[in-house]
Amino acid sequence: MRMPRGLFGVAGAGRTWTRAFTVAVAASVVAGVVAPPLAAAHDPAASVGPAPSSGTVTTVGTVVLITGDRVAVARDRDGSYLATLLPGDDGTRANVTVVRHDADVYVIPTEAQSYIAAGSLDRELFNVTGLLGVPSGQDAVPLIVEYDEGPGVGTLASRRPPAHSKRTAALESIDALAVTVSTAEAARFWSGIKRTLPTGTQRSTGGISKVWLDPVLKPDLAESVRQIGAPTAWTAGFDGTGARVAVLDTGYDPTHPDLAGQVVRSADFSGTGITDGHGHGTHVASTVAGTGAASGGRYVGVAPGADLLVGKVMTNEGSGMGSWLIDGMEWAVANGATVVNMSLSTEVTDGTDPMSQAVNELSASSDTLFVATSGNTGPDELTARAPGNADAALSVAAVDRSDSPASFSSRGPRAGDYAVKPDIAGPGVGIVAARAEGTTLGTPVGERYVTASGTSMAAPHVAGAAAIVKQRHPEWDGEQIKATLMGSSASVAGASVYDVGAGRVDVARAVAQPVTASPGSVSFGRYAWSEEDRDDVTRTIVYRNSGDRALTLGLTIEAATTTGAPAPAGMFTTDASTVTVPAGGSAEVRLTLDPDLGDTGLYGGQVRATAEDGTTVHTSLGVFKEPRMVELVVEGIAQDGSAAAGGSSVDLWNLDTGRWTSGIFGGKGGAGPAVFSVPVGTYSLTSFLWTMDDAGAFGREIAMVSKPEITLTEDTRIVLDGRTGQRLDPVTPQPSEARQITIGYHRASGRHSFAVHYLLDRYVDAAYATETEPVTRGEFELSSHWELYAPEFTMKLAGVPATLEAEYSIGSPRIDGRRTYDLVDAGRATPQDVAGRDLSGKLAVIERSDAVSVAEQVRTVGDAGAAAAIVYHDRPGFLLAAVPTTSPIPSFTIEQAPGRDLLTRLSAGPAKLQIAGTPDSPYVYDLFPYHTGHVPAAIDRTVEHLSLARTAASYHASGAPQRGAEVLFPRRPYDSFVLRRAQEIAVPSARTEWASPGDVVWRPMTWHTVSQDGGLIGSPRSYTAGQKRTEDWFRPVVRPGVPAVGDEDDARWGIPGYRSGDQFTIQIRSLLDSGEHYSERAGDSESRLYRDGELVAERGGLEGTWPASAEHARYRLELDVRQSEPWWQHSTSSHTAWGFTSSRPAGGQQLLDLLQIDYDVPTDLNGDVAAGEPTEVGLRVYPQARRDQPADVSLRVWASHDAGGTWREVDKVKAAGDGSFVATVAHPKGAETVSLRVVATGGDGASIDQTVIRAFGVAGS
């Protein structure tokens, strides 16, 4: 029996759902949830953004989960992710699910599932791509720990943070602590806190209600003052004087004339100083209250009379933490802020996140109005973001100069309850405001100003308007100011309330007209489809009149769906057609929704109240009438006939909308059906059903049962029966066993797509899939990836033909060859059990015990002289255990029944156990069968060598032998994320590798160490049946160069180098072996560019753009590379200089004459040549990445046998044609290494001078 020690599901859908900051979020989580992960290990490249600026694979970073698991993430040239799950310190890996949705990747250990289901862990804690975006320098994950007992300021300030975490702030407004957890303390923190968090069956024992990821803040970047009527308000005497506006942003430039004397107080919450090194905060602050001094009054802020409070909550890189923002909000309120401007956002939320909670709490306890952006992730619905999603916040969308909604502006409604958001709009396109000195934000307008766009620019227009209204009505609180700005806003033609809220802010009307309406919007929420009559729902709108005469207002309602269908008469009504509001008084109007009227859809509109003199005030309204829902009950039956449980999952995906719902059987675990309530429609239904071990703890087999196209029109019950599945595991020509398996499916319809893949470790016995009907809509594919090796061992009792099923203990040394052991009963391997027993050279049979670990049991019998050990379970079920990698003897685990059988044999007399071990497989099968359109009734599992591609692979050492790692990523055309586990490989070694042909693109990576250091990357490739090829990894000579051009995208990034205008674009890999494998990391390297002998630029590594002069000139490009890692003993350093001439081309791109040298050295797998005879070194010179264009060059070669201390020119250099040469290098007695210098010079002025120290070794000298 085997268990899914590393279970992955990768899910992805075509619809874009936004998450925190700049990446998308999954709609829900595939079966299982993650433990809180820790931040990316410190790595300058550990950031998430656009596809890498390289035509090849680029490392992104490594995320450490709180469970101790690590995920190394890289991005391929097309932006897709290639990720490997790294082993833990003890060699174990967690049971996890991986969810992939657009740009987001969630890694989800199943042990945290109940906490996610109970809502005590924030799902964003598990977003790998989000964690990679933690501000640089972070080596710990930032958390917000929320308490449910309302401890109050004093208690909270003295509260101890959870064990193994460090408190960074007390957030009194939400009864929470901001803490960080270091990577070193991750497992300890998780072990402690999981016992205190509430679940479906466990109540909180530590007062903690939820643990949130402290999210990264990002600024929302995309004649505006006149557009909103500010000059009119100024003329009336209102410029914000007396109001205080807090700008929580990236700080400000204290030297900018527009802000001189405007900032009355400041505070830094980022630890980077108040001065703005980004530019965003200065731009925003001057939009609120800049004086325009540097422009002669041209670029004046909205409320130049207001005082500014500046809180720096984002760093000079433009990012910050949510806890910094909450700290800043509390500081602003404590310092008398009238308005708080937050031109930033985090994730899409339902308004219950910590920052939104803080806005609501602080608004309720003060008169402060919080203005925040809606976000820049439009134009799709449901993209409005926190903290603007707070009920009390004034969420601001952006419009352009013609009052049209900006395409980037995030839209409502609010996720969850479908409340009306955003609330209002402001100018946010092409906004000119102050430029912080030395920053590069936006497009400069002269020396002191810059143009920028975004909802970040729209919010300060509204904040400035709020300051002016506060001056006009100093007695008003934040809610009244919010309602006034919304009610007096200008209508935006063709836009719904979910695009721009009530309308574009009009501060002139806000201060001039006497009548207001409160609240600014009425949200009726969401209503489930029903055939039953439902009661009307009524809300109250209060009209207030600050004027000196009564006003009679005529009431009208305009409402429609977001698709333009008008609401039917009677759906929204008021209890009167007019209302008279007395002077200095108020009047109420009741707005009623009849939920039985109107088709399904998202409705939005306004109640308009208009007086005879033209005074108008409006109130936004909205409601979501859900489509007709049906209940789908899904029963699962596992392969052994038991009810689905133990992490078995089911996914339901709507072909029309792309919406995805995921569930597990039994609701929160255990047996029982999965129940869905979904709209009528056509769906794809797929389940992964686990057959559990005898203890119900570990999965032995998995079955994918799918109905890829079902139409639901009524309540339905479906049984997914894994017993009808057929086996998928291939039958190979040579004996093999799986080291890892991927099984999954892809489904697409129209512009939507969805995929779920499970990555299974070596402890799964079998995988199955059931037959399906062909789909009539879109695409469907079942695929599986089998990584098969020669069995690591076979085990049987002497004289008994049947083999014994067992597993190596994790960390155990491997057996190489055949061994026969005498068996001895060692009891439970306590000191008392082994005392007096002769274990010397024998295999100890041990019963597992709760009282002592397997590792200790193995150590005890090893100390007593045992040569090997088998530990059998003391109860039914699968057993897997770990021992230290320093364990001196091989050890195995087996289940209870076969363990007792061994003891029975021993009781009858001496018994011997025969073990044949193959620690390093001489062959490997990477098989990727797939079935499109449907799963056939019969799957042929038999594999023939003639149907595969064959690679004779060699893995060369660069020094002492190592245990390395390799991984082969397969990708089908629809894949944008591939996750694999790297497998150990001996370095040096050679083996035969078989792979599936067809429309599968394979991308290999190999590392010199198990910990995945010293790695090289191979080119993507597809295979044909019967193809035969060779591949050499790390083969000398490793030197700088570029791999062959794969496609036009490679050339775009300077592979090969080119010139456009007065700029070179060049990318040269620091390490390139003779097999065209390269390293994407620069290592310890420096590069320099000289023009006519004068240094013009220098940097680390050699990639990117370089300056060129218009005139004809001679250039010299130099690259020095050093490798100091202990496993890297060949090519320890290199110096390469390229010479070429260039002048400005007439147009387009012009390839540069950068030469490259290929080396062919007859080394063995250790990277050594024989000492007793000269070595013929093959050399070939050609323009970079153009191997079919041999260069016409003269060539000289020097060799050194003392690591470059002394050099001797090689006098036997023979031209072989086609740019090829053979240099015969003789080796003096005692030589251990050979260093080479090669100089090739062409008649066209192109040259290369390349020196490689310790290029290869000399054996046997």
Q: Which run of H or of E encompasses 186?
A: helix 186-193
Distance, in Å, from the CA atom of 815 to the CA atom of 390, rounded to the nearest integer, reads: 62
Q: For residue 297, count CB atoms less than 10 angstroms from its CB and return exposed for 0-12, middle for 13-18, buried for 19 or more.
A: exposed
Q: Which residues are catalytic?
A: 249, 280, 456
Pair 330, 171: CB distance under 8 Å: yes
Close Cβ partners of 1234 (under 8 Å, ≥ 6 residues apart): 1169, 1175, 1199, 1200, 1201, 1225, 1227, 1254, 1255, 1256, 1257, 1258
Close Cβ partners of 482 (under 8 Å, ≥ 6 residues apart): 369, 392, 394, 423, 466, 520
Distance, in Å, from the CA atom of 132 to the CA atom of 141, rounded to the nearest integer, reads: 10
992: nearest Cα among 925, 1066, 938, 1052: 925
Question: What is the sign, positive or negative, of the torsion defined by CA atoms of 729, 733, 737, 742?
Answer: negative
Q: How many helices (H) and strands (E) does the chain have?
A: 17, 82
- Residue 626 per-residue DSSP state: P
Pair 889, 813: CB distance under 8 Å: yes
Q: How far apart are the first and last CA of the chain?
A: 52
Distance, in Å, from the CA atom of 1054 to the CA atom of 1049, rounded to the nearest integer, reads: 9
Quick one: tokens of 596?
Answer: 């039985």
Distance, in Å, from the CA atom of 767 to the CA atom of 689, rounded to the nearest integer, reads: 10
- Residue 123 per-residue DSSP state: G
Compute CA distances 1250 → 86, 93, 1195, 1197, whole Å.
36, 44, 11, 10
Q: Where are the alpha helices (DSSP H) in 453-585?
A: 455-472, 478-487, 497-500, 507-512
Distance, in Å, from the CA atom of 605 to the CA atom of 214, rounded to the nearest integer, reads: 36
Quick one: tokens of 634?
Answer: 């899904």
Q: One-letter amino acid identity for 395?
A: S
Pair 106, 112: CB distance under 8 Å: no
Compute CA distances 1100 → 48, 169, 648, 953, 1244, whole Å.
21, 38, 50, 33, 29
- Residue 405 per-residue DSSP state: B
Q: One-letter amino acid identity for 1088?
A: R
Q: Name the one residue in this structure whose structure tokens are 């008021």.
A: 574
Question: What is the sign, positive or negative, of the torsion defined by CA atoms of 543, 549, 552, 555?
Answer: negative
246: nearest Cα among 320, 305, 314, 332: 332
Distance, in Å, from the CA atom of 1198 to the CA atom of 1210, rounded to the nearest integer, reads: 5
Order across the sheet with 449-452: list the strands. 431-434, 449-452, 443-445
Half-sphere exposure in the Cβ direction for 439 (13 Å, CA): 31
Distance, in Å, from the CA atom of 300 to the CA atom of 445, rounded to the nearest integer, reads: 14
Distance, in Å, from the CA atom of 412 to the CA atom of 402, rounded to the nearest integer, reads: 21
Pair 264, 308: CB distance under 8 Å: yes
Helix, strand or coil for residue 853?
coil
